[in-house]
Each structure stands twice: as C-alpha cells, then as structure tokens.
A and B are shown apart, each in its own frame.
Chain A
Amino acid sequence: MDLLPTSEQEEIVSSVATLLAAQLPITRVRELHAEPAGVDESVWAACAAQGWFGLGLAEAEGGVGYGLAEEALLFREIGRHLAPGPMLSTVLGARVATGDQRAAILDGAVRVALVERRADGGADVHGHVGAELALVVTDAGADLVALGDVPGLTAVECIDPGTRLAVVARFDATPVATSGEPILARGAVLAAAMAAGVAEATRDLSAEHARTRVQFGNPIGVNQAIKHSCTDMAVRCEAATSQVLLAALTVEAGLPDAAYQASAAKVVATDAAMRNARATIQVHGGMGFTWEHDAHLHLKRAHVLEIILGDRRHHLAGLLEA
C-alpha cells in the first residue's frame, strides 16, 4: 500500500492540468457558462483524444488501461479547474456501454448525462444539453438510456452555472445497455475526487489572498483568525484526498469494505469542498461576495457534488448500517 502518487501517476496529473490550464482557464469556463450546452466541443474532443474517458478501462475495451486511482487523480484536476460538462457520467457511461456505443463515447462523439432519480418517480438529469445518452445508477449496477426516449424532459435553472439541469416528472426509460459493476461506488469516489479538487482550489485561493492582501499594514494572513481558517482548509484537503485515494484502491480491488470506503470518501470530501468554499468567501471579504470572484463557482459546484451519486444522507445511512 502506497498512497502517494507514483511518478507515472504524477505525469498523468501534470498532462491533465496542462490541458485544462491551456484550454479551460477560468475565463473560458465563464464564457461557456453563457453558451447553451456549456461545453466546448473542441476541448471535449481534445480530452477524448488524451484518453480521459477511457483512462480506467482496459486496453482490450478501448481504454488506456489504468484504474480508479488514476481516474480519481484525473477528476481531482477536473474539479479543481471547474471544468464544465458531464465528464463524470461520460466516464462511468463508457464503462457501462459496449461495442460501437462505447467507442463513440471514448471518441468524444457521444456525451452521457447523469440521471438522479427522485423518490416520487421523477428525476433530475445533469448535463442533458447535447448528450445522446444518460446514465442511471441502480443498486445492482447501472443502465444507459437514450435521452431521446425520455419524454417530458424540461430544462430548469441550476445553482451551478457550469451544470445544465433538466427535470422529468416520471422517469421509466428502457435501458440500451446495463452493467453489474459497482458503478455507484466508482461514481461516488470520482465525485469525491472532484470535491477534493474544489477543496484544494479554494484552499489555494484563500492562502494566496491571505499572503498578499494587506490591511492594517500587514498581509491579513498574519492574523490567526485568517491563518487558522486557511489551515483548517488544508486539514480538510488532507483528509479528503487521503480518503479518496484509499477508497479508489479499495473499490478497484473489490475489497469487502469498498462501498463503505466510497461512502466515507463522498462524505468527507464533499464536506471539505463545501466548508472550504464557504470559508473562501469569508476570507476574501467583499471581493468573495462578488460574481467576478471564483469562490461562488466552487461553492455552487460543491452543492452539485454533494447531491449526485448518492447524497450525504444516502451515504451516511450506508455508513451507519455497515
């Protein structure tokens, strides 16, 4: 057991971060918020060309041949950069799909939205604009459905400007593909990894501000009230990232406590993202309350991540019953 990334894994992180910094800087992410699909087709194609959507799939299945740990490192970067579009459900969807459908997802030709079913028989669909397929995570595994077969899909406004959201009053589409793999556990780990990225990004924004913002003649970070707030962000990041990586290895190995570790990762990492984003608004004072500052984008993404692939209540219930 070694939880530190290897040099090969560090190279994956570095190439992902380089692509995101070059093609999806926050200025571009903000431009995309105003566009209908919220996705840059050429960037999506570039991500596909780098093998992101099949990073954890076996080479025989058209993937790159890495595992959930590498996927988690990928999604931590995606979370850190607030990359738009349904990347998480697309990666999970590629695992569920077969044949030509899988090839089209891996190529970047087909995007996969995420269906979050509600207790009343309805559902929310995340990332529906421009997506052909949608992923439905079930207790047994997951199904893929054709979005065109979902009648009554209605676009609604989402708190996160980087997430396209639609609702349907009654969801009962027929699967076009089905998998018995533990997709919920994998998805929870990857959503947690994105949340860890949000937590780290907000920690870094706050630390930078605390080092450079001068008031009363000193950088505000000399004050323990600010310093300790930033420190608590760093502690939450360490807890989140450690648990995400441990859960990734546990789920990939199919150990008996896989679901438990995945739930712990989801709870700890989304809590870190939410609390760090909130504290980041506070550390930045008036600037943190402006639309121009990125703190609110992280906060709003944190809310989405807390809800999808098993909300906090779901994972806490699972942890309690184990």
Chain B
Amino acid sequence: MRDFDTAWQRTQFQGGWAGINWPTEFGGRGLSLLQQVIWYEEYATLGLPGIDSCFVGNNHAGPTLIARGTEDHKATHLRPILQGDVVWAQGFSEPEAGSDLASLQTRAEIDGDELVVTGQKVWTSYADVADLQELLVRTNRDAPKHKGITWVICDMHSPGIEIRPLGTIDGERHFAEVFYDEVRIPLTNVVGAIDDGWSVAMSTLSFERGTAFTASQTKLHETVERLMALARERHLDDDELGRRLAVARAEVAALRAMTYLGVSRNARQPMPGPEGSIVKLFYAELSQRVYALALDVLGADALRTDLGLATDWHHDYLEAYSYSIGGGTSEIMRNIIGERLLGLPR
C-alpha cells in the first residue's frame, strides 16, 4: 500500500500535478486553491486512486508547516511530501482524549536539546508505514489544559516506539495504537513554541475541516453518478429509490457549491474558519446517506460481498461510518458551529 501510494505520489509530482497550490520554492506549483480543485474534479472524473497513506502529509502536516513551520522545517519536509519520499501519520487522539483532545496526557520532558516522550496515541492511520508523525504532547502539566501542549515532528523510526495495528469495520488494518517509551525528539522539531501546540493543532484541524477533504467532496459527485449507472444497469424502476437518487444529486450539487464557496472564502482569508465545520458535517452525513442508498440499490446483493463489482460499495459504505467521527465528531462539529458561528452559549 505504502509503495503504491508513494510511487503514485511521485508520478504526480513528476508530471507537475503535486502541491498545485503549494509555494513553488517547496516543489509546489504556486497556483490557486481553485486550480487545485479543478485538478481534483478531473481526477475524480477519471476515477484515479485514493490518496490513502499520503493524505496526512499532503493535507495536514504540509499545510500546517507552510502556515506555522520555521524556514528549516519547510526546507526539510515539504518537498519530500510532494515527491512521495515520506509518509506522515497523525498523533493527536489518545484513549482518554478523543473529542476532549486538550485532555491529552502523553508527556514530554525537556532534557537538554531534546524532548523525551512517554505515553500512548490511538486511531493513528498508517502508523505502521509512516516515517514521520505530527505529534501532540503535554509539556506543561501545571498550566490550564490548552496551554501546556506542544506540536512536534516525531521520527517514527525512533527507538522506544511500538505500534499495534487495529482492525476496523471495513475490514482494513490501517489504524493503530502507538506507544512511546522515552522517545527522544530534537527540540528543533517543535512547530510553533513549546506549550503553544494547541493553536498549531487548531490550524491543522482547520485545514482538515476546511480544505483537506476538497478532493473527497469532489469525488462524491462521481460516486452518485456511478450509483445512478448501477441503478440503471439493474433496471430499477422504484419511486422511492428514484426520489432518493434525485435528492442525492441535488445535495451533492450543493456540496460542490459549498466547496466553491469555501474556496472563495479561502482566497480572501487563507486560514480556514469555523465555516469549514459546516462542510465537513454536511459531507459526512451526505456520504453516509449516499452509501446507504447504494446498498438499497443493490437490494438482496447488499448481503453478498463476493460479487467483485467495479466499485466496492460494501467497503465504501462501511468506511463512511468513520466520516462523522474522524477529524472531530459530528457532535463536536455541531458544537463548534453553534458556538462560534451562531454565538450560542457553551
């Protein structure tokens, strides 16, 4: 999986199609987010492979380093992401810090010019194949919980790291728990300041909720069209399914318009705001409706996972359950929208 993903990333880079809206000095094309979205639309139309293990580098760590990293961080890390030389993983959630991320307990002590990290992370996709990790650690246990966190680049090949893969409901094993036992990380790997990692993490998440899923949002349109084709192949003439397919087309059109509105906002205000949570929430719930509809179109074949269809509807249906959980649950998205956009009390 890693080999395929990185080779495909390299192929795109060599063709000039990686980091379309990244600065040219770091290997990008220096073009607009709108031009990046045009690429995503063409990409989705052609049904090209998912980004998978290259997601965190391209859509999380890269944009975060561009926004908050030092010149040295950018020079060291950005081009290798685009060239497919490295795989990044995320290290935010912990067993006791899920939606309440700021309660994270993985500890880091400063020892000379290094941080010494001990603790545990969970839900880390592609940890077993990753080279680097965006890691949140607690550097100050006396400060209020949001004030004692540091965002640091962790080398996943360091001594003291143990990875235990976790199976997920879609049959994949990309998830993992990661354990840290006195893992030593140079202080120069800290992004932002010591104890200021919460604001860096919030910029990472604003990219995740704002622009990281632009490709997926674009792809959902193609998914609905493939579902229409499936319904036609199966000669479905059913009012209820027809109505749901038409509503899916209308809603996926609106998702595309919302993506464009987000791109327009991004052009005026480069750091995505809480509006990104609206698109993330809408996308998650619309995806789940679309894939549930796919299984209804399959009818009794919804029970058969051995059909070898061109689209693995069963896998995609099950995977979509993660969309309203990962990157902030839909409940947390609703709190953010209610409190920050509508001014409702906490």
The residues of A with any CB-CB pair to B shorter than 8 Å are 1-4, 203, 207, 210-211, 218-219, 221-222, 224, 227-228, 230-232, 234-235, 238-243, 245-247, 260-261, 263-264, 267-268, 315-317, 319-320, 322
Contacts and interface: CB of A to CB of B under 8 A. Distances in A.
Given A239-B282, A264-B253, A221 B338 contact: yes
B235 interface: no
Contact of B257 (A203, A207, A243): A243
Interface string B192-210: 0000000000000000000
A1 B341 CA distance: 25
9 contacts: A230-B338, A238-B258, A240-B254, A242-B257, A243-B254, A263-B250, A268-B254, A316-B247, A320-B242
A88 B251 CA distance: 25
Contacts of B242: 316, 320
B341 A234 contact: yes
A59 to B, nearest CB: 28
Contact of A261 (B246, B253, B337): B253
Given A207-B343, A227-B338, A319-B249, A235 B281 contact: yes
Interface string B308-346: 000000000000000000000001001101110111111
A2 B249 contact: no
Given A2-B267, A227-B335, A243-B257, A264 B343 contact: no
Contact of B346 (A203, A222, A247): A222
Given A231-B342, A243-B250, 11 more contacts: A1-B264, A3-B260, A203-B342, A227-B335, A234-B338, A238-B278, A239-B258, A246-B253, A246-B257, A319-B250, A320-B245
A228 B331 contact: yes
B243 interface: yes
A320 B231 CA distance: 11
Contacts of A267: 246-247, 250
B187 interface: no
B249 A320 contact: yes
Contacts of B265: 4
A234 B278 contact: yes
Contact of B334 (A222, A224, A264): A224
The 6 closest A-B pairs by CB, nearest first: A242-B257, A264-B253, A221-B344, A246-B257, A316-B246, A243-B254
B337 A4 contact: no
Nearest to A320: B246
A227 B344 contact: yes
Contact of A238 (B245, B246, B261, B335): B261
A107 B342 CA distance: 40
Contacts of A241: 261
B258 to A, nearest CB: 4
Interface string B130-158: 00000000000000000000000000000
Contacts of A322: 249
Contacts of B267: 2
Given A235-B278, A317-B246, A319-B246, A245 B344 contact: no
B250 A231 contact: no
Contacts of B344: 207, 210-211, 219, 221-222, 227, 230
B282 A211 contact: no
B165 to A, nearest CB: 34
A267 B267 CA distance: 29
A276 to B, nearest CB: 13
Given A227-B335, A235-B278, A238-B258, A3 B249 contact: no
A219 B346 CA distance: 10
Contacts of A263: 250
Nearest to A246: B257
A143 to B, nearest CB: 28
B256 interface: yes
B275 interface: yes
A224 B331 contact: yes
Contacts of A3: 257, 260-261, 263-264
Contacts of B282: 235, 238-239
Contacts of A317: 246
Interface centre among B246, B264, B268, B337 (most CB of A within 10 A): B246
A3 B243 CA distance: 28
B260 A246 contact: yes
A246 B264 CA distance: 12
B129 interface: no
B230 interface: no
B256 to A, nearest CB: 7
Contacts of A228: 331, 334, 338
B283 to A, nearest CB: 11
